[in-house]
Structure 1
Amino acid sequence: MKLKKFLLRYYPPGIILEFESRGLVKQRSIDLLYLSPEDNVDVLLKAISQQEPLITPSRYEQVKHLITILQLRLVENDDKMYHLTKVLRVHVLPLTNVALNKTGSQFITGSYDRTCKLWDADTGSLLRTLEGHRNVVYSIAFNNPYGDKIATGSFDRTCRLWNSDTGELLSTMEGHTAEVVCVAFDPLSTILGTASMDATAKIYDIATSQELVCFEGHKAEVIALSFSQCGRYTLTGSFDHSVKLWDVRTGSCIRDFTEHDNEISSALFNFDGTLIATGAMDCTAKLWDFGSGRCISTLDGHTNEVLDVAFDACGRRLATASVDTTVRLYDIQTGECTDVLEGHGKEVGKVVFNPQGTRVLSASIDKTARVWDLSDGSCSQVLEGHTDEVFSVAFSYDGDRILTSSKDNTCRVWR
């Protein structure tokens, strides 16, 4: 094996090794999920070199420099205050969903007006209108980190794939017999998953537009779908109170998580795929071991429905958003609640971590979004100005930009 070059992955921290083996160029990663700005670089280098034969003494100084860069990234934007830069009235009819590309330079919006629109986040200009659906465009996604494709799921029972650079319709995926309410790309952008009110989920090949597999087994609407980092496994969450784990290659159900007592609101993997988090209307979130399917922790404390859950980039903490107006933070290893973030006046429907894992952003029907400092659990900023509930919030990949979206039919860009 011959090492060709290093690539950095900032969030979560990692070093990608690109090497040649038997004439083929391959990659593997050194994951530094527990890296902190205070870590001793020499100690880390020693541990890495003992485990990775491609890191030879001639590469030591280069690797030390890369680790230092990653440490500096972890403290960027820690004390940043965000300022409103754009207010965009993006559709005439109500918004349904929004999504940022990896860099945060562009975002997309779906609407009841049956279109998806692509926007320049810097200038506020409309770049493209993606037209063709015959009903509400409800679910939308970029194929991040690439950002050259957009998927739209509609109440017309189809999913459409578009070229984001040209606006060209690449394909229409059919087969569902009810509304498509969730779309997701796998991390390598080779397959596309859809979830539907017809109680099924489907996987399509992006290159051929062919349906590869249909996941059947839920007894009610499937409203959540997410891929593992390797792309081999898919989670689906349903109103039938269950979450199912599927093998994409075989289409078989590997695990059935059935300990929730009410409808599922969210289901997702942590970064390395060892844990699964679920949230439900039974006022709890749960952590599950991927290998055994065992429930490790029931994360209680909320007094009303849990509407959203989110891992930080490294998968060390979990945030939950609830109708009880609070956000709760949990330590993954212990299952203990470490902070209760209070301040919203009404239910909190969405929560996300910044890439560095030092802040949390929440959206509420009280017409505000809030930025929380996780060093002490305080609210560092209230993002105000929307005239109706804020239903979606997002950080850009490097954390220097925030997008808030509201039922007032506007998106606000903060930098």
Structure 2
Amino acid sequence: MIIEKIDTFGGHRDCVYALEHGPQPHQLFSAGADGLVVRWHLDRPDLGELVAKVPASVYALALHTTSGLLWVGQNYEGVHLIDVSSKQEVNSLKLTTAAIFDIKFYKNDAIIALSDGVVIVVDAEQLAIKKHLKASDQSARCIAVNPVEREVAIGYSDNTVRIFDLTTYALKRMIPAHANSVFTVAYSPDFRFLLTAGRDAHLKVWQVENEYTLHEDIVAHMFAINHLVYNPAGTLLATASMDKSIKLWDAETFRLLKVVDRARHAGHGTSVNKLLWTNYKNQLLSASDDRTVSVWKVA
């Protein structure tokens, strides 16, 4: 495996926490502690554009493909809906005074994870609250949707992952997954496995069709694992850590293939917070506390 850093996007004034696909394969959005929401073009790396500015940190970005609106989760103020073509805020939802850690869409539902342990389900067209899911007093950190089993997995700071029914939002299962906060959850592209990781630096693989029994427990990093993503082909997996490294894994065997760090690849000098694997030339993006977004070519 060859991995090569081909670009760095600079311009954020503080840590970068969120990355999201754009409406075109070569576009993406980034946001972070400076409240700036920026659109980047992978075919024109010099062309960063400010799309929105909000008054507080942004941990969550989600593009609603039906409406084309970018949902921006702003700390303590709710959600801003941005028309990315006009760069105008067209609506906002004053949902909460808690931090918003993740936003995912399923059909017409927006599922929003909050730092007070509440998960809010919003009708994405009517912008009306449908459900409040209060299953923990500790933060709901991350969301993964499984449309095949019609389930949604939510990772919490109480070390557990809870599985809810996607139709009724009834709690179906609670997995005592980790020794500390769960920061990232993802279903494999074939939905056979749920992958979870977090502050305990373990990457865990759960068998979905076998009542979420543990399949693998890998000591994957030195410090907290902040995020994990699959490549578009579903053959590779990437993890990002507070230990400043990105690691690439075989998605079938979960074997470590590559460590991307500062010494070997001019990687990030501080915590790697978020990853985005694009369809554009198979490029992998990483966002860091060092205020930059790096672009990686994986071959």
Which bracket does the TM-score occupy, shorter chain normalised?
0.7 to 0.9
User: Where is the helix percentage greater, Structure 1 or Structure 2?
Assistant: 1
1:288 aligns with 2:206: yes
Matched residue type, 2:110: L
Change (3 A) 1:386 1:166: same
Structure 1 outlier segments of 4+, above 4 Å: 301-306, 311-326, 385-390, 412-415
1:261-298 CA-to-partner distances (Å, cap 9, x unmatched) read 32212212222433312124344333323345231413
Distance 1:409 1:300 in 2: 29
Q: Is the 8 A contact 1:284 1:305 kept in 2?
A: no
The match for 2:266 is: 384
Q: Is the 8 A contact 1:285 1:306 kept in 2?
A: no
The match for 1:185 is: 105
The match for 1:109 is: 30
Matched residue type, 2:96: H
How many residue pairs get matched? 294
Distance 2:183 2:265 in 1: 25
Matches within 5 A, 1:323-334: 327=247, 329=249, 332=252
The match for 2:61 is: 140
Aligned to 2:143, the other structure's residue is in SS state strand
Q: Is the 8 A contact 1:305 1:323 kept in 2?
A: yes
Matches within 5 A, 1:106-255: 106-123=27-44, 124-131=46-53, 133-143=54-64, 148-186=68-106, 188=107, 190-229=108-147, 232-255=150-173
With a CA cutoff of 8 Å and minimum separation of 6, indicate the structure with the bigger relative contact order. Answer: 2
Matched residue type, 1:121: L
User: 1:393: Cα distance to partner?
Assistant: 4.0
Q: Is the 8 A contact 2:241 2:273 kept in 1?
A: no
Q: Is the 8 A contact 2:232 2:277 kept in 1?
A: no
TM-score normalized by the length of structure 2:
0.80
1:87-125 CA-to-partner distances (Å, cap 9, x unmatched) read 443233443322232644222121323231223333332
Change (3 A) 1:134 1:102: closer
1:134-189 CA-to-partner distances (Å, cap 9, x unmatched) read 32222212235x69221111112401222222223232223334111212233x4x
Q: Is the 8 A contact 1:239 1:262 kept in 2?
A: yes
Q: Is the 8 A contact 2:17 2:288 kept in 1?
A: no
Distance 1:197 1:222 in 2: 6
Distance 2:254 2:33 in 1: 38
Matches within 5 A, 1:41-60: none
Distance 2:220 2:283 in 1: 30
Distance 2:146 2:296 in 1: 30
Distance 2:14 2:219 in 1: 37
Matches within 5 A, 1:335-350: 338-339=255-256, 341-342=258-259
Percentage identity across paired residues of the two chains: 16
User: 1:239: Cα distance to partner?
Assistant: 0.9
Higher gyration radius (CA): 1
User: 1:309: Cα distance to partner?
Assistant: 3.8
TM-score normalized by the length of structure 1:
0.60
User: Where is the strand percentage greater, Structure 1 or Structure 2?
Assistant: 2
Distance 1:213 1:169 in 2: 25
Distance 1:414 1:259 in 2: 31
User: 1:399: Cα distance to partner?
Assistant: 3.3
Matched residue type, 1:339: L
Q: Is the 8 A contact 1:391 1:407 kept in 2?
A: yes
Unaligned runs of 5+ in 2: none
Q: Is the 8 A contact 1:321 1:328 kept in 2?
A: no
Distance 1:397 1:90 in 2: 24
